[in-house]
């Protein structure tokens, strides 16, 4: 039996597919889902969703949200998602990640509390997810 995976954003259904397994970027670390997984609701951090199709792993970048797993249906609701394109320039993505990391360090050093740093942290996590996702295609 396979999993029915749906990734929903505020704008659209980003992804709908059947797969034997999916890996989600949970707030507590990556979580693998196989068919007949126990019911679960989990918070998702910005990161890479991966699913297997015909022996290949397909990555996608997810923004923060949550996932519900129940009866072989994986419903992912996130603030945004984007496909990983082979045309993405690894060096440009790496520079963007380094820049976002440096910006985060400056914001943290300014003495702002954790809530004020959150938008900068999310930008850095998304930049890292874009870089990580491209690595899965190589």
3-state secondary structure of 34: strand
**Cα separations (Å) of 38 from 21, 62, 86, 130?**
14, 23, 34, 30
pLDDT tens digits, one per residue of 39-72: 999 999 999 999 998 888 999 999 999 999 999 9
Confidence band of 1 (pLDDT split at 50, 70, 90): low
Name the more confident of 101 and 87: 101
Q: Which two structure tokens, joined as six digits, stand for 16?
A: 């709908």
Mean pLDDT along residues 130-135 = 88
CATH 3.40.640.10 fits 3-83, yes or no: no
Q: How confident is the model at residue 94 (pLDDT cuts 50, 70, 90)?
A: confident
Q: Where are the domains of the chain?
A: 3-83, 90-137
Residue that wins the pLDDT comparison between 17 and 104: 17
């Amino acid at each position: 039996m396979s999993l029915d995976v749906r990734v929903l954003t505020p704008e659209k259904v980003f992804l709908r597919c059947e797969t034997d397994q999916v890996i989600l970027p949970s707030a507590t670390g990556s979580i693998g889902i196989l068919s007949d997984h126990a019911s679960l609701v989990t918070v998702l951090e910005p990161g890479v969703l991966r699913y297997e199709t015909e022996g290949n792993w397909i990555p996608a970048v997810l923004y923060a949200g949550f996932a519900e797993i129940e009866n072989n249906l994986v419903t992912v609701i996130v603030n945004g998602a984007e496909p990983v394109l082979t045309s993405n320039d690894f060096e440009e993505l790496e520079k963007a990640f380094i820049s976002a990391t440096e910006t985060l360090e400056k914001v943290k050093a300014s003495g702002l509390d954790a809530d004020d740093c959150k938008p900068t942290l999310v930008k850095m996590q998304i930049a890292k997810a874009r870089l990580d996702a491209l690595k899965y295609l190589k």
